[in-house]
Amino acid sequence: MNWIKIDSVHDIEAIIERSHHVSCLILKHSTACPISSLAKNRLEKQWDLEHSAMETYYLDLLRHRDVSNYIAAEFAVDHESPQVLLIKDGRCVFNASHLDIRVDELRQTA
């Protein structure tokens, strides 16, 4: 996978704009949580989507909790960790957390 780091609220605003051209996946990940690491590793091992079909973004929750809070408010989703959000046309069209994070689910929505 080709992770693009998220470091600021400005990055989320740019993702919203970008999502009008390509589907954007945001992974909210806690580096201190073993379930989060498991979900991230499973996603990476199963990933078979082309970069042109979906761009992948990564948020380190421990370093950027303010950005995570912004994501929850902006897309009207509960904060969870780990969590993926699929952004299309400026909206969150799919989100999943913990072991419900699966490539087959994302493939159907992309």
Tally of domains within the chain: 1
Closest by Cα among 23, 17, 10 to 67: 10
Q: The pTM is what? A: 0.94
**Residue-number span of the structural domain to which 15 is assigned:** 3-109
Whether residue 26 contacts residue 94, with contact meaning beta carbons closer than 8 Å, is answered with: no
- Six-digit token string for 67: 């950005």
Model pLDDT for residues 56-110, shown as the tens digit of each residue? 999 999 999 999 999 999 999 998 899 999 999 999 999 999 989 999 888 887 7
CATH number at residue 105: 3.40.30.10
Q: What are phi and psi of 78, to 5 degrees?
A: -70, 145
